[in-house]
Amino acid sequence: MLKGAMHVHSTFSDGEFTLDELRDIHQSEGCSFVCMNDHAEYFDQQSVQQYAKELASRSDEKFCFVMGLEYECECRMHILGYGASAVANTKDPQEVIRHIRAQHATAVIAHPKDEFFSWIPQFETLPDGIEGWNSKYDGRYAPRPGTFVLIQRLRQRSPNLHAFYGQDLHWKKQFRGLHVMIDSNEVKPAAILAAVAAGEFYGRKEELQLPSSGILPQELLQKFGEEHARSQRRFRFFKSGKAALDRLGIRVPARLKSQLRRIF
């Protein structure tokens, strides 16, 4: 089994880490791979090819970067393309899914908003996966149970649709404890992408293991719901406090904001 991180951003788009820093910190945490998803909107076709070369140049038999992009679509829906290396000329989410698949890559809807839960099932072209837990969007403590309900609803139409688990890493002080274990011993992008496409992986946070099927016990979903609600109450409290300070013209120190990113 290989330990790695999925849905990671760098200074090539809006992340704070350079590629060299990402390699160093993830290797120090026992990772053998990182699946990159810098935002496609930051690239043209020439610069995205240079991005792919930079990833390849920092990969070896012990650690590899896996090429990928994140596409912004209508209504700010975001779709990850694991293995994708071509920018798109459309913001229609179903067209983007087809664009990703045309590259023999894996299309995953990232951190779907609650209001998308009724929209996505109407798609004629479903994605290959949904992020069941995005530890930036959902928080570090628990995902939203509704996302897993959505995944099972979609799997009735598309049984090979998988639940994904991503860090959505942008900031240096951000929580990085959500990992993915891949059923492979080859530290090569092609092998990792093949395992991702086949659902041969599971999410891991400490002792918790989350299957690619997204099928979770009802008791665990209930626990997630309670923990996520508590976390969101704390988050809203701090957010309202920041809004009050903003109205008074008081800026929250950058150091404090970075520490809050560790908490949430």
Identify the domain containing residue 157 by its residue range: 2-219
H helices of 11-121, in order, are: 19-28, 45-57, 93-102
Q: Is residue 137 part of a domain?
A: yes
**In this predicted model, what pLDDT tens digit does every residue of 45-82 receive, in sequence order?**
899 999 999 999 999 999 999 999 999 999 999 999 99
**In this predicted model, what pLDDT tens digit does every residue of 197-222 receive, in sequence order?**
999 999 999 999 999 999 999 999 99
Q: Is residue 139 part of a domain?
A: yes
The total number of structural domains in the chain stands at 1
Q: Is residue 97 part of a domain?
A: yes
pTM given for the model = 0.89
CATH number at residue 140: 3.20.20.140
Q: Is residue 230 part of a domain?
A: no
What's the half-sphere exposure (Cβ side, CA atoms, 13 Å) at 21? 13
**In this predicted model, what pLDDT tens digit does every residue of 123-160 receive, in sequence order?**
999 999 999 999 999 999 999 999 999 999 999 999 99
Report the candidate in 3, 140, 130, 131 with the shortest Cα–Cα distance to residue 63. Answer: 3
Q: Is residue 244 part of a domain?
A: no
